[in-house]
Structure 1
C-alpha cells in the first residue's frame, strides 16, 4: 500500500522535527518541512502532497490561514491547522479555508494520527464525490446533446468534448466502423497534441491498437493503457493512465468503439464503470437512432424516386398501353399510350372494347371471366392478340397481358399491358411475301438455267412415246404380235409416267404454294436433283455422289420443294464455277453427331444428330471479302444477265428456318465447299403403297366433263372397265343441262378445271346449288393454291393432278363415295 505523503508547515524547527518523527512512526511519508507561507505554496505545487499540516503562525508576510486559502483554491489539498490559539476570532478566520482539522498544541500523538486519518478519508470522499458529479454532469450534457443533435459527426465530436471538459476523463475517443470493420468516422477530445497525432494516425490508414477490443463484448478495463496497446504511436501519453473501452451497440448490433483515458485510481470504482457504460449505451442509442432516421430517409427517398420513375414509365412509356381494372372489370386508370391506342374510356368506352375483343382460339372471352381466372390462379393471362379500332376508326391488332397486383390486405387490382402490333404484323406479312417472292424469283432463275436439261429429258420421253406407238401401229399392219404390242404399250406407259414425274418436279419446284413440311429422305431428293441436272452440265464436269444413308438416317422434317431447291441451287452454283475449265462436282451425304468441340465451331447449332449435305467444287474459289457477302440478297459476282444474286440468300433463309446451319470453306484457286447441317428427324419412315393390289371397282353412275375429247373418251373407257356407268360430255354447258334435267341420275361428278363457257369451279358451284350432297372431283394439269382454297370453299371433295392413273381414279372414287354415305 502506498504511503500517504504529508507536508509540514511549522515555524519552530524543534516542533517540526518532533511532528516528522511522529508521522513516520505511523507510516506516513514526510515530503518536506517548511516555515513560511511562501515555502508551503511552492512545496505543495512541487510535491502535490496528500495532506498539509499547517501552523497558523508562519514566518514571512503570509500566515497559515492565508496559505491554506491559496492551497484550497489551486490544488484542493486537505489542510489540518496546528495552533496554540483557540480564540473565537482565529477560529472564524480558519473556517473560511474549510480546513479538514483543527488541533490545539500541545496534542497527543494518537490525536494527531486520528485527525490525519479522518482528514485523508474525508478528502478522498470529497474528491470521489466531485469526480462523480463531473461524470454525472457529463451524462446530463451528453443526454442533452443526444436530444438536440441529429448530425452524426457533430454528435460524436461533441460527446468526446463534453466528457473531457466536465473533467470526467483526460482523453475520450469514438471510432465508428463499417461492416468490413474499417473506421469511417472518428472523434477525439482531450490534449490538442494527442488529438493531432490521433488524426494523423488515421489519415495514414493505420489502425489504433484499441480497435482490437471491438470483438470483446461488455466493458474492457485497462490498468495501464500504454501496456495494452504496445504498437500504438500514442502510447507515450498513456504510461500512467488506465482506460475504459466498450462497444457502442444496440440489441447486439455493434456500431463502433468508445474509449476514455482516466487516472488509474478510478479504474476500480464500480459507480465510475457503471456511469461510463451508461454514457456509452446512451450514445449507442443515439447513433442507432441517427442510422435508423437516415435509413428511413434513404428508404423514403428511394420510394419517392421509385414512385417517380414508375409514374414516368407509366405515363411516358411509348407504345405500351397500361390500364388498371378492379374485380368487376371497371377501369381505374390508364396511361397516355392507352389513350393514343384505344382512346379515352369516357369517350370510347375502352372497358367495353376489352370486354368484347379479348379473344383466344376458343372464341370471345369476357373480361370479368379473365380477371376471375387471374384472381383465382395468380397466373397472368396472355400474351393474347386481339383486334381493336383506334380513335380514328382504323382496325388494328394489339397483344395484351393481364396480371394482378396486391394493393391492400386482401385486395387486388388488375393490370392490362398492351402493345399495338399492327405495324409489326404488317411488316411480318410483307416480309413473308417478300421472302416468297425471292424464293420464286430464284426458282425461275434456276428453271431458266436448267432449260436445256428439261428439253433433253422431254425429247427423250417423246421419242419413246412416239417410237413405241409407231412400232405398235406398224405391227398391226402385219401379222399382230400381241406380246410385242403389249411390251410396246407398257414402254409407252413407262415413258408417260416419266413425263408426268418430270412435270410434277418442275411444278413442285416452281409453284408459289404454302410451305408443307413432312419427313423428307434427303438422299432421294439429291438423286432426283442430280438426275435433273446431268443433261445441263458440260461433259467436262464430272459428278461424284457419295450418299451414305441407310435405314432412313438421312430423314429431315422439311418442305421437299425447299430441300430440292437447296440442292439444285448449290449444285448449279458449283458447276457454273467450273464451266470454263471443267472439274469435279462432289456431292456427299452423311449422318453425324455433334457434341462439344464441333458445336463450338458452329455456335448456332445445339448438340444432337444432324444430316450433313456437302457440295464441293474444284472451281476458282472465293476470297474472304466475297465469302463474307455471298448470303446478302442481290450480291453476285456473275456478269449481268447471268444471275440475280438471290440464290444463296434464299438458301440461307431456308436452312435457318429449318434450325440448321451453313458452313462455307473457300480460297482463291482451291474451289469451294458448302456444308449444310439439318436436324435429323427420327420419326417413323413414310409408308410405301402396295401397287400390286387390285384396283378398287364399283357400279355407281358418274358424269365426266372435259373439253378435250381424247381425255373424256379415255376416262370414260377407264371407268367403264372398272364397272361404273359413265356419261362423258365435252361441253360444260351441255353437262349442266344434262344434270339439271335429272339431278338424281348421278352419284358422282368428275370435271376438268379449265374449260370454255363454264369453268370446272363454276360448273361445280351450280351443281352443288341444286344438289349439295353430290360428291365432285376436280381435275387439272396445274396446281394452284388459290384454286384449292376456292374448291374447299365451294364444297368440292377432291382435287387431282393430271395425268391420273387408273389406280388413283379407283381409290379416290371409292373413298369419296364412302365418305358421302356416312
Structure 2
C-alpha cells in the first residue's frame, strides 16, 4: 500500500508538466441534452493549444451507454446529471457501473452541494458548474480527471500485486510439495485480480521443462502446458531462456509470430522472470498483465522479489529432498546391512547344527541358537559374546554340584581349539560328554578364521549332534546279533510262515468257491425257477380240479409240494442275494419305524414271547429299507428257530422254559446299535466262530447263507456285526451302523 501511495504522490507532482506535453488524442464522450451547453463545451475544447481531443456528443443517457459499450478506448466522460431519460445521482451510477475504468467529470447547471459530495464520494473525478466554466478550468479538470483515474487504477493494481505477493510468501512457508507450490503460486497471482494469467515452468535441464503449470488461461492452459513440456517453446520463452536478465518485459506491440498461444495474449503486456537462487536456475515465471496496464520499475522489483522467493523455496525443497534422499539412502543401507545380518543370523539359527566363532583370546564372537541352547545353556544369543567355554561350564557345574556328570564339556573344547589355532589348519574331532545330565556325541569341524587380508582373527566351528546315529549304530550291532540268533531258529520261523500261507491258501480257495458258486447260481437260477413255476402251477391246477372232493392225504401232499417249491425258491433267492446282491435304494431317515413294522408283521410262534425296547433318541442314518428289513427278519427268524428247538428239547418239568426273543435299539458312537437276543439253544465257540461263513449251517434245513447275507448287508451300510453265544443259554447278535451307505 505504501508503495502505491508514493507512486500517486510522484505522479501528482509531475502532472502539471505533462499537461501541455500530451500528444495522445484524448477521446471524450459528452452526454448533454442542452444543445447550447454542448456547443459551448465543444468550443472550449477547441480553444486549447497543443491539445488533441476527439469529442463525441450524445443527448441521452441510453445513447451514451451504447456508445461506451461499442467504443473501448474512451478516456473521459463529461456527464450532465439532468437528461431526458435519467436524472440525478442515478445517471452517474449508470455510467460508472458500465465503465468503472473511465474517468467521469460531472457537469451541472445547479448548485447542489449534497449531490456534489455524493458523486465525488462515489468516484467522480470532478464536479463542475456550467455557470463558472471556461476553457482553461475545463481543460485542467479533464486532464486531472484522466490522470487521477489512471493513478487510482495503478494503486489498485499494485495493491493487488502486494496482496498476491503476501499470499505467495504464505504459500512458500506452508507448502512442501513442489508441483503443488507452483500451481498455487500461479493461482495466488491471479486470484487477487493482480494479473490476467500466470504460469510457472520447472526445468529439468537448461531447455527441457519437467513441470509446467498455469492459471488464468481458461481451457488453453492444458494445451499450453502440454506444448511447452514437449519442447514446443513460443518465441517469448525462447527469448527468456536465451537471455541472462532476471526480467524480460514483452510489450503488447511484440511480434508473436506463429505462436500457438498468441490469441490469448493479444493487446496485453507480459513479463517473464528467471526463477533462480544463487547459481541454480530453476525455471521461468510468466505474467500476463491486464489490457491497458503497463509494468513499471516498482512492479518489476516486486515480481523479481517473488521470483527470488520462489527460487529460495525451490532451493530449500531441493535441499530437503537431498536430505530426505540421503536419509533414505542411509536408512536403506542400514536396513540392507541389518537384513543381511538378520539373514545370516536366521540361516544359522534355523540350522540344527551348532555354529560359533571365537576371537584369538578364545572368547565368543558369535553363536547360533542351537549352540547357545544346547552347548552353553545361554539365555539368548547375546549372552555368550565376550565369554569363554569355561565361563559357561563352571556356571553349569556350580548349579548342580551333586551331579559331576551334569556338564563335562569345556576342557575338551578348549584343547581342540588350541590344536586348530596352533596348526592354523582345519581339523575334525569327535567330542563327547554330558550336557544337562544327558550324554551327547558331536562330530566337530573347526577351522581358522581369516579376514580379507588373510590375517587369522580367530576360529570358526560347527558341530553336528550324532548321538542318535551312534545309538542307531549300536542298535544295528545288536540287530546283527539278534539276526544271528534268528538264523539258528530258522526252522521254527519257516513252520510259522508255512502255517500262515496255508491259512491264506484256504481263504483263497474259499473265495474261489464263492466265485464259482456265484457264476453257477447266475447260470442255473433261471433253469431251476422255471420248473419250480411249472410244479407250483400244476399243483394249483390239481387242487382246483379236485375241489372239495380232495381227501386229507391228497391235501397233505399238495401242501408239501407248495412248501418244497417255496423252499427251493428261497434257496435260489438266497444264493442270488449273496453272490450278486442288488443296487441299494438308500434313504436318510429313522430306523425305529422299520423295526416296529417288521416286528408287527412277523408271525410269532406259539408260546414264544417277542419283546422290543427301541430308544426314541436315535440319530438318522442312511440305509436301504428292503435290505435292512431282510437283516432283521433273518435274525428274528433264527432266534425263533433257536428258542423253538430248545423248547422241544426241554425235559425239566419242574422249571418250565419260556422262549423269549428281544429286539432293542440304542445310540452308538456316530450311529445306532440294533441287538437281537434270544434264550434259545445257543452255540459253542467253534460254531459261533463260523456262523457268518457262507454255506455253513447247523440246521437240518437251510442254505447256510442267512447270517452271511446279514453280514454282507451290514458291511454295505458301513457297519459291523458281532455274535455272542453260549451253548444252551442263548445268542445275542449286535449290529452297529454309523453312517450307512450313501449311494
Bucket of the pairwise TM-score, normalised by the shorter protein = 0.3 to 0.5
Rg: which structure is higher? 2
TM-score (norm 2): 0.46
TM-score (norm 1): 0.42
